[in-house]
Amino acid sequence: MGDLCSLSISISISTFLILLLVFPVLSTQQQPEEEDNPVINRFQTYLRFKTAHPNPNYTVPVSFLISQARSIGLHTRTLEFVPGKPVLIVTWPGSRPDLPSILFNSHLDSVPAEPDKWIHPPFSGVRTADGRIYGRGAQDDKCIGMQYLEAIRNLRELWGYKEPTRTVHLSYVPEEEIGGLDGAAKFVASKEFEELNVGFVMDEGQASPNDDFRVFYADRSPWHVTIKATGVPGHGCRMFDDSAMENLMISIELITQFRDSQFNLVKRGLAAHSQVISVNPVFFDAGILTSNGFAMNMQPSEASAGFDIRLPPTVDPELIRNRIAHEWAPASRNMTFQYQLLVALVIKTKLLSCCTEASILLLKGKELTVIMLMCSCQHVLLPGKEELVTLELKFLENYLQSLSLRFLIRTSAPTL
């Protein structure tokens, strides 16, 4: 889940969103808060499945989701385009299957967790007395996956909706946190996806620290960049020009200066996080290994560093590509680089970038309405902090009851 760019919308879309945002406030006042809420219990159960990389377990959470879906009369189908990496499709058939369907997407996996840095174990799903729920994936984005199901549960059991006009699909995909190549990418390229006849997609957005919903049309493009320096190895008793470590340190200094220039715009209130190019160092690899650590008297012949770079949709990718090639990792300093561009696409001559699955759906080349929307979380995931959500019980239970599903079903959805 990345930093997202806000959507500038027309009057008709504005009206649509106002309806989406007003209904939850009204509905959350209708049900009293319960001490032992089964909705929250189900959410905590989902959080306890260890789906973090590098070894996510998908089998148990998929079985759990299937049981929840079938308990409210929904159809399920599991696809495996790559062994051990299932794509779960939950379907609520509509009365007009000839119309383009509605797809609500979330992903099964989560980023790694360092248990010793957490107040509560990351897969315990602990709920504290002040209403905070701790768990890796609580915000990104198991909350959304459960809210879809709970919304349909309420629509069927409390509101009496037997079937929507359009068929509604929920997709639970793997591998989103590492690019989605073995998940959503293979799914949207399949005949099974084509058969869904998708016309409207809602995907994850960004957590909000209050009850304001933010709707997004684009995300910053993640670039995973590795720069590598080479040089002649030498003994530690002498200093040499153009050593691998020296060249890498020069590059790191230049990258840090650029990072500071971007971050200062945010700190001074001149730009939002989503409007600047973020650069974050993520690994450093150098040194000659020995049986008891590193050789402290040898200068290595190779050294490399990795960076997570995020480009706003308004930035020309060639600018950063040229900066990397000519300033941060120039061949003149025995430098090379490689990068993995996770999300970048051109649609109707406009460069867009979105969260992983939304981008893959758009790359499909189909005319889709894609909206990214995130629930309200009073505590947004912060560096070095646990991942948690603070939710009113009734808010989680009613998330989509009067939000997207209700509006889209009652009006047969916007024109697609």
Task: Kindly list the catalytic residues.
Answer: 109, 176
Please report, for residues 100, 149, 202, 409, 413, the alpha-carbon distance to residue 96 in angstroms, rounded to integers and kept in the order given: 9, 21, 20, 11, 12
Residue 53 annotated as part of some ligand binding site: no
CB burial string 237-268: b at 16+ within 10 A, e below: eeeeeebbbbbbeebbeebeebbeeebeeeee
Please report, for residues 86, 279, 329, the alpha-carbon distance to residue 335 in angstroms, rounded to integers and kept in the order given: 40, 19, 5
Concatenate the DSSP letters of all residues of 186-202 into one string: HHHTSHHHHHH-EEEEE
Residue 163 annotated as part of some ligand binding site: no
Residue 204 annotated as part of some ligand binding site: yes
C-alpha closest to that of 327 among 389, 398, 208, 247: 247
Residue 169 annotated as part of some ligand binding site: no
Report the first-to-last Cα separation within the chain, whole angstroms.
Answer: 27
Helix (H, G, I), strand (E, B) or coil at 248: helix
C-alpha closest to that of 4 among 179, 220, 203, 208: 220
Binding site residue list for Zn(2+): 107, 140, 177, 204
Binding residues: 107, 140, 177, 204
